[in-house]
Structures are given as structure tokens and as C-alpha cells.
A and B are shown apart, each in its own frame.
Chain A
């Protein structure tokens, strides 16, 4: 298994030559007002990703806030994934800037060893990148973090995963474990993955439940199987708006994009399950929104109804609008897998379904009944409806 956590394309040095200055990625207009990636100089001044903009500016009044360019970042990242798939790799994209593939499966094509595969992959990926090789996804990620950009890959020999991970901090655990579990572990004095791996599974299950067991598995260098994406499935249409677009003009442009997308022969009659609206502002910067559909369909009117409200979220006039298919409905001929998916995969699928439901129907669309006084004689004291956790 190989990992390629490349530098985030938002911060590609071609765009921002002054990375020796304190620079941070500004938040999008209607999102949480926190800074994104930060340059080394900004980091040295105590600014870190996720810090509130006000606090960051208070710490460093000269901080340069760079408007985010999610459209360009997504295109650059897609180019990286496409380049890896171009050499035959079955790639599983994780967070932006992080992807995994089974390097061993390509050995026979590139010199009979993993080094040959990596050399070919590095030539294919033009962006500065860091590479790690290990038997599990999490271990490969940790190895890639330890590698230096532009240098050779960091490889963890088979069987040495636990030893390699042992001194690394628990904050390295992937989301959501890193954010939810690591602070609690640190409060208990468990700071390194090695200390976590030494804990008894039943103790961890008692204190942290499923998340604790999953973190322990990762600390032991064990992970779930790769789930590569199906390449070559992206379908996109875009339209340039000669004058700053808003209002009715925008609506007509959206209808035109829907018609064009539905008419593309590559769709092969499949229904659409998720779409992405993108835009480039007249002034500067880009915008995009993922629009999952409650049901996969290809009705022009229903697509219009699903996408139209998102146009109201545009904070400024735009000069280009794009519409991309993110996921298709299942083709009729699809068959289910012979293998029963493992527990973690089932949980991932359930979490994805929850995310899509919330995105389509609001944050309060999935709730659970929490019994607080089940034996109370006053019925309204017995139970609450609370948000269903991830």
C-alpha cells in the first residue's frame, strides 16, 4: 500500500511566491470564520489551521489572508489522482491532498519491486509530494508525513508497523478519531501510539467504545482494506457568463448546464446521485457546493429544483458556472459483492448515508430517542430527541 499526501494545491507555490511571509488561507464567506492552511512563517507565530480569523489577526497583524480557490484546488487534486490512475493504480482518495493505492499490485509492470512503482508514480505526479510505503493505510500516512517533500519515500518494513508508529503522537490518528479521542487520551497521559497499543482492548472498549478499539487497531498497524474509486467517471459542463451573472441570467445558465449534462452520451442513461456546483467570482476566488440528491434521478425539473436553492448561497456575482456529476445511481446490471463488507466499512457507509441525508434535509433530519427518565410518571420527562452522532 502506498500513500501520497501531496502539498495542498490551494497553496501551490506558483500562485503564492511569498510563502516565507506569514500567510493563511482565508475562510469561505458563508463557512466558519477560521483560517485554513498556514505557511511556515505563520505557524512560527503561533497561528494554526482552524484558528479563528480574529485571533489569528490579533497574533499577527501583518498576516496575509489568501482567498480560497476550492475549484482550482479540486481540479489540481483531480489531476494528481488522474495521473496515478494513468499508471494503472487503483486509487482511494482520502482527505484533499491524501490518496492511497496498492503499490504491490503494480510491481510486475514497473521493474518487479515497489521502488520501481514509486519511481514511476513520482514521475507521473507533477506536484511536490511526500510518499510513504507500509502495509496499512494509517501507517503509510504516518510514513509519508515523516518523508521529506521531493525526496525518496519512507518505507516501513512488513511487521515493523507497530514499532514505527509507537513514538508518534495520538493526535496523528485520522478524523474523527484524532479530534475526538486524542484530547481524552492525552488527558489520561496516553500521548504516544505505542502507549495506546499497549492498552488492553477491553479497557479501551469500556472507556471509549468502538472508537477506542478502532484507534487501538490503527496503533497496532492494522487497517481496513482499500476501497479504490472507479476512475474515468467524471462528467462536467461549464458556461462562461460574459457579464457578471446573477438572478434570472444565472437561473437560465443553470438550466442550460443541466440540459447539456443530461445530453452527454457518456452518461449512458444513468441517473445522477450527487452533483457539484462550481463558480468563479468576477472579483477573485471560486466557490463550490456538493449537492447530494435524495434519490438518484435524471429528471431535468427535479435537478433544477435541487440545484436552484444553492445559487442563492452565492455571495457575489460570478463569471463562470460549472456543473459536475460526482456520483451516479447504480446501473441496473450492477451486482452486489460476494464478500460481506466488514464492520468498519458498514459503519463508513452508514456515516456517509447520514451525511448525505443531513446535507439534503438539514442537520435535524436524523435524530435518536434518548431515554432520560424512562420510568417517570410524567410522559414528557421520559425521552428526548437528540442529534444522531456520526
Chain B
């Protein structure tokens, strides 16, 4: 049985007025390290449109979260 690595996991993210995350779960975002977009498979019926953020939390942990621009849902992901 095979399974994918780095699968996105649903995350609870609060955003500021500019749409950047200010809180991930219960943790406060300390700083925004990087931001990028992924637009892929636009030629298929299931295009991938994501806005990624690499964040440092108040605890010192680094996390990568993205907003699925199609559904508006947030996910966290490793391997980004």
C-alpha cells in the first residue's frame, strides 16, 4: 500500500487585514519569513492555486501554511 508524503493537513489560521496569518492554531505568529504562490495544473479540471507562508511562531517553531485559493481553506504542510 503506497501513500503520499507531505500531505497537507487542515489548519486553523487567523489572518490580518492584508490576508497574512497572525495566529496558527493557538500560537501567535512572530514573523513572516517568506511568502510565495503556486499555480499548477491549470490545464486540468483540478487546478492547484495556493498562497504559501513560511512563518516563525512565538514558540520559535517554523511552520509552512497555505491558503487554497479555490476553497479559501487553510492547511499546514511539511516539505515545502
Contacts and interface: CB of A to CB of B under 8 A. Distances in A.
The 4 closest A-B pairs by CB, nearest first: A379-B6, A379-B79, A383-B5, A386-B2
Interface size class of B (residues with CB under 8 A): 10 to 19
Interface in A359-389: 364, 369-370, 376-387
Interface in A58-111: none
Given A383-B5, A384-B5, A386-B2, A378 B78 contact: no
B35 interface: no
B6 A382 contact: yes
Interface of B is mostly: loop
B6 A380 contact: yes
B40 A377 contact: yes
Contacts, number: 42
A380 B8 contact: yes
B80 to A, nearest CB: 5
Contacts of A380: 4-8, 77, 79
B45 interface: no
Interface residues of A, number: 15
Contacts of B77: 379-380
Contacts of A383: 4-6, 79
A382 B2 contact: no
Interface in B50-80: 50, 77-80
Given A377-B38, A378-B38, A369 B5 contact: yes
B1 A378 contact: no
A387 B4 contact: no
B26 interface: no
B64 to A, nearest CB: 8
Of A369, A377, A387, most buried by chain B (CB within 10 Å of CB) is A377
A164 B40 CA distance: 61
Contacts of A370: 2
B5 to A, nearest CB: 4
